[in-house]
Amino acid sequence: MQAIAETVFDAVYLISVITIGILMIRGSKGESQFRLFGWMAVVLGAGDSFHLVPRALALCTTGLENYTVPLGLGKWITSVTMTVFYVLLYYVWRKRYDIRGKKGLTAAVYGLAGLRIALCMMPQNQWLSADAPLSWGIYRNIPFALMGLVVIVLFYRSGRKHGDGAFRWMWRTIVLSFGFYIPVVLWADVNPMIGMLMIPKTCAYVWTVLIGYSAMRKECK
């Protein structure tokens, strides 16, 4: 039952975000913020598919323990694409609120993204092993969490300053996604049930994508 439910959920998620992303790219009508948002959604769905598709295959066939390498490789790829996702979201913020300059802020975002990707590439992560060390899971997620915090603050401040009703929930969706994700990183190995938090975390990302799509439909008539 778990295999069927989780596979259906993941399939709906991947198809939804990639489809919405393509619709935004095609329907942005020259609005760069929405075209960028569309690419962001496609990166999200395409990146997650590297982990979720092998997971679905494992659940529906011989079990997760027999798919250690493809699952580890998929998680590795997803870790990098999620970093790209937040860099793109940062540029959505810049486009939407017409932000100029702030080279130091941009450098900080790129620095955190570069550090995150560099840490993900370290062999100590043991991505393809069934006993990947928790310590490296924490190390590589520190700059990732800091990137998320930066984006949360930026959308919160700019949304309030500009009275942006369309994006008023954006910062909350990112807070929720990290709020559900961090316990999984820290404690899922000890208590596998905590891994269920990835479901509401995924829903938070769908909410993020829907915010952009809804804004595009209203503003690109």
Give the CATH number of domain 2-219; options: 1.20.950.20, 1.20.1070.10, 3.40.50.300, 3.20.20.70: 1.20.1070.10
pLDDT tens, position by position, 16-32: 999 999 999 998 888 89
CA angle 152, 138, 58 (to 5 degrees): 100
User: What does the pLDDT read at residue 190?
Assistant: 77
- 221 pLDDT exceeds 80? no
- Could you tell me the sign of the dihedral formed by the alpha carbons of 210, 212, 213, 219, in that order? positive
In the chain, where the domains are located:
2-219
Distance CA 71, CA 130 (A): 10
Mean of pLDDT values over 124-145: 92
Closest C-alpha to 28, from 96, 128, 119? 96
User: What does the pLDDT read at residue 22?
Assistant: 95
Query: Strands, DSSP E only, in the chain?
Result: none
| Single-letter amino acid code for the residue at 152 | I
pLDDT tens, position by position, 162-220: 999 889 999 999 999 999 999 988 888 778 788 888 889 999 999 999 999 999 998 88
